[in-house]
């Protein structure tokens, strides 16, 4: 039998994992608060347990869901332009990392990063994805940080004042899940996190024909419906509730006044659900508001960046004007 050559050593790198346990305390409180209001709602960040993260990946490959493939198309074209705006040996920090498809593209195309921090609320899935990335990019130091990016926290090497230049990355138009007030607060917070002069690459979905939007959030395979309903399964499991998910239906509508897609779970009957020792009543046709996805113009998104104190330097779109990617300089607006 042939022996393997001595120098053929296979080293599998893993990511460092830091768990700030972002949902431990807040989940029950947030769910009870959301279902107690006059208009019921649930925070969309709680869609993402391990099953929710996998369902989101499935949404991304449905024919109707144009944002993912369109943003990937834009990122694939702008690598060398981005590289010109980013110093060597920078650190890339991604907010809401998901399955890492887009960051792989950026790491390969830009070739300026020697460390990467993936931030996501979905801890189990984050750890798996970050380990795969660390193994595929052995030259890059990978840290997975399970945290809620809408709250204040510190980066792992925050006390290294002479640390690397930083670049934030926030793809997927995930920023659209925040109201404009929430987006400005988020953008200001990441200004403190990344530091003045850092780069920021962010994807924003654009306003367009309502038919394209409605189809994207009502895919014919029903994956978005399963993703929306997953939050009820999660509440049942983690809060010992007795939702019957089949008694709710997925609804996605365009709200022209607020320029956003909205997802709701609509009660199909009069029903009472027991949750964390309390009863919650749902009238027939009553809706639980589960997600907003705000849509922008390129100009409007630039103004949002400026309102948070950042300087938009460049924006790119696809030939059909469906989606946009922006590069901004942190903390140096006018």
Ligand X SMILES: C[S@@+](CC[C@H](N)C(=O)[O-])C[C@H]1O[C@@H](n2cnc3c(N)ncnc32)[C@H](O)[C@@H]1O
Q: What angle do CA 190, 196, 202 make, to 5 degrees?
A: 45
Task: Tell me the number of residues near ligand X by CB under 6 A.
Answer: 20
Q: Is 149 in the site for ligand X (CB under 6 A)?
A: yes
Q: Are 232 and 248 in contact (CB under 8 A)?
A: yes
Stretch that binds ligand X, among 92-100, 189-197, 208-216, 325-333 (CB under 6 A): 92-100
Helix (DSSP H) and strand (DSSP E) numbers for the chain: 10, 13
Site residues for ligand X, 177-206, by CB under 6 A, read none
Nearest CB to ligand X, comparing residues 96 and 312: 96
Give residues with Cβ within 8 angstroms of 95, minimum separation 6.
119, 149, 168, 169, 170, 174, 190
Contact with ligand X (CB under 6 A): which of 15, 31, 51, 53?
A: 53
Nearest CB to ligand X, comparing residues 94 and 198: 94
Residue 238 has a CB neighbour count (10 Å cut-off) of: 15
Give Rg (Cα) of the chain: 21
Contact with ligand X (CB under 6 A): which of 26, 41, 131, 150?
A: 150
Shortest Cβ 292–ligand X spacing (Å): 12
Stretch that binds ligand X, among 171-179, 239-247, 304-312, 324-332 (CB under 6 A): 171-179
Shortest Cβ 284–ligand X spacing (Å): 31
Contact with ligand X (CB under 6 A): which of 91, 92, 98, 250?
A: 98
Q: Is 282 in the site for ligand X (CB under 6 A)?
A: no
Shortest Cβ 204–ligand X spacing (Å): 12
Interstrand relation of 90-95 and 199-205 (parallel, antiparallel or unpaired): unpaired
Residue 16 bridge partners (DSSP): 143
Shortest Cβ 109–ligand X spacing (Å): 16
Order of strands, sheet of 248-255, starting from the edge strand that comes earlier in the sequence:
248-255, 260-267, 287-294
Residue 22 has a CB neighbour count (10 Å cut-off) of: 22
Contact with ligand X (CB under 6 A): which of 15, 31, 48, 330?
A: 48
Q: Is 250 in the site for ligand X (CB under 6 A)?
A: no
Q: Are 241 and 35 in contact (CB under 8 A)?
A: no
Residues that bind ligand X (CB under 6 A): 45, 48, 53, 56, 60, 68, 96-98, 102, 119-122, 148-150, 171-172, 174
């Amino acid at each position: 039998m042939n022996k393997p050559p001595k120098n053929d050593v296979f080293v599998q790198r893993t990511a460092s994992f830091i768990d700030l346990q972002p949902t431990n305390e807040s989940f029950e409180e947030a769910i009870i608060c959301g279902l107690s209001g006059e208009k019921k709602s649930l925070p969309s960040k709680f869609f993402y347990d391990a099953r929710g993260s996998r369902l989101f990946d499935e949404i991304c490959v449905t024919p109707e869901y144009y944002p993912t493939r369109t943003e990937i198309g834009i990122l694939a074209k702008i690598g060398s332009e981005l590289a010109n705006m980013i110093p060597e040996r920078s650190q890339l920090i991604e907010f809401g990392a998901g399955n890492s498809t887009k960051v792989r593209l950026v790491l390969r195309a830009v070739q300026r990063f020697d460390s990467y921090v993936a931030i996501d609320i979905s801890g189990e899935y984050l750890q798996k994805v970050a380990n795969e990335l660390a193994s595929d990019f052995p030259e890059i130091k990978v840290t997975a940080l399970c945290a809620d990016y809408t709250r204040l926290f510190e980066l792992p090497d925050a006390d290294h004042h002479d640390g690397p230049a930083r670049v934030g990355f926030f793809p997927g138009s995930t920023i659209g899940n925040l109201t404009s007030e929430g987006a400005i607060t988020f953008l200001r917070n990441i200004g403190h996190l990344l530091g003045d002069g850092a780069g920021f690459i962010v994807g924003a979905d654009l306003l367009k024909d309502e038919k394209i939007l409605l189809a994207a959030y009502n895919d014919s395979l029903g994956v978005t419906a399963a993703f929306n309903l997953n939050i009820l399964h999660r509440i049942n499991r983690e809060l010992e509730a007795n939702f019957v998910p089949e008694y709710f239906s997925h609804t996605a509508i365009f709200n022209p006044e607020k320029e956003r897609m909205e997802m709701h779970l609509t009660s199909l009957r009069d029903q009472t659900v027991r949750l964390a020792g309390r009863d919650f009543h749902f009238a027939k046709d009553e809706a639980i508001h589960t997600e907003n996805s705000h849509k922008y113009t390129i100009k409007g998104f630039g103004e949002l960046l400026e309102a948070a104190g950042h300087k938009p330097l460049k924006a790119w779109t696809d030939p059909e004007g469906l989606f946009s990617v922006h590069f901004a300089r942190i903390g140096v607006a006018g």
